[in-house]
Structure 1
């Protein structure tokens, strides 16, 4: 499975802190937690909430092909991405709707919410007639 994942360099297998994806997936949660960045490690060491525990169970039982058609829906944007999440599809809530996020190996150690933005970029057009007081004097072409 891990042979299909590549890093930026041509022909190299994906590794996270010196471990391949297969090795990471075989590890216990406590061993994986030691490899995560400090913030993610601390949030897991303080104890997962009931909702996060339930999400973790759902992920362990889910099949990657199943989640492609019906993703795992969640509001838990602050859930750290673990190696067991790889190849699964999540529908992460962005405050307005659920958007699909397919977990890649490079996402391990980040949060689910990092890959689903909550704000849209605004691109302003030109001021129209009546938009402002000064637009009254903009010549029409």
Structure 2
């Protein structure tokens, strides 16, 4: 799999040949042409009203303000665009809001990809009466 973003020889981030500053100056439609197919299609078909509101909040927010007060959202299917880089979002994982700081390398992904909804299950010992064989477990 080829990398769509690179850190140049001068240490500068580029996404498909464009620096972050160039990407932030582009319109949403111009950025959409650079994104992977699924995210491009989401933007070309038109963002929902809720997605537009979230994008407006991101445009109005200042980086230092969102570090202390993250932008809360349930929109896990929001594509990450250059205007969101540097901001902190509180993304809902089905149970609680968890912080996600958007880095330049996250461009072209969805917000929900960085906040997992499932946790690993760690089973304990079976209790007495749980199965027929547990009848013979010695009590401590």
TM range (shorter): 0.7 to 0.9
Distance across 2 between alignment mates of 1:65 and 1:10: 29
Deviations 1:48-71 (A, max 9, x none): 111111111110010010000110
SS of the counterpart of 2:100? strand
Counterparts of 1:60-139 in structure 2, within 5 Å, are 60-139=59-138
Runs of 4+ in 1 over 4 A off after TM superposition: none
* CA RMSD of superposed structures (Å): 1.9
Which segment is superposed worse, 9-18 or 106-115?
9-18
Structure 2: give runs of 5+ residues left out of the alignment: 1-5
Number of equivalences: 135
Distance across 1 between alignment mates of 2:130 and 2:14: 54
| 2:52 aligned residue | 53
Does the 8 Å CA contact 2:29/2:43 hold for their aligned counterparts? no
SS of the counterpart of 1:101? strand
Which segment is superposed worse, 108-117 or 9-18?
9-18
Distance across 2 between alignment mates of 1:129 and 1:64: 54
Distance across 2 between alignment mates of 1:133 and 1:66: 58
Structure 1: give runs of 5+ residues left out of the alignment: 1-5
Quote the offset at 1:110 in angstroms. Answer: 0.3
